[in-house]
Amino acid sequence: ATIKPHTRLVYLSVLELPQHWSEYDSISAIVLKGVPLNHITDKQYDALRKWIARGGTLVVASDSQYTLLQEPRLRDLLPVQILGIQQLEGLHDFSEHYGFPMPEKPLLAVQARLTTGQVLVGSAELPLLAQRPFGKGRVVFLAVDYAASPLTGWPGNTALWKEILQPVETVDISR
C-alpha cells in the first residue's frame, strides 16, 4: 500500500513561531501574507532561516499591505526587490502558464524586480511568481493576493499551489 501525503493547514500568529529550527520538523512549507517578521524574536528569526536552509519552503504572498515586504528580515529572504504596488488588468501570464483562463478583472499586484533566483511566472521586470534557493530550501514570492478575486475560484489554483508547495527535492532552481 502506498501512503498518500496530505496537507494540513495550521494558522499561527507570528509570536507562536518556534524558537528552534527542529520545532519545524513536521512542516514542509510556511505561507506568510500580511505578516511582519519584525515582531518576532531573534531566536525565532534564526530558527526560521535555519529551517529554510535545511530544506523548508517559505512562501511570501502579497496583499495590499505590500510595505510589510520591505522590512529588513523579509527583504533579506525574498528573491525580489519590492518597488511598490500596481494595478493589472487580469493575469494573462498565470492563464498562459497554468492553462486555465482567468477573468479580465483589475487587481493589485506588488511591483518587484528579480534580484536572485528565477521567475516562474511573469518576467524579471514583473515577477508574479518567483523563487530563490536558500541553502537546501527555497523562498517563493507571489506578487498577488491569493485570497482575492480573480484568484479565488480560479480553476488554475490547484496547479498554482502544487507548483508553489512542491517538495524542495523536486524543484529545478536552475531552469
CA distance 136 to 162: 19
pLDDT at 168 over 80: no
Quick one: DSSP state of residue 170?
G
CA distance 169 to 38: 30
Question: In the block, which residue shows the cell 510589510?
Answer: 68
Q: What is the pLDDT of residues 89-123, one digit of tens each?
A: 888 999 999 999 988 888 899 999 999 999 999 99
CB 110 within 8 A of CB 62: yes
**pTM of whole model > 0.85?**
yes
CA distance 110 to 113: 10
Report residue 86 as a C-alpha cell.
Answer: 500596481
* Residues in a beta bridge with 137: 134
Of 124 and 174, which is predicted with more confidence? 124
Q: Identify the helix (H) or strand (E) that includes residue 43.
A: helix 42-53
User: What was the pLDDT predicted at 95?
Assistant: 94
Q: What is the pLDDT of residues 1-39, one digit of tens each?
A: 555 566 666 777 778 888 999 888 888 899 998 888 888
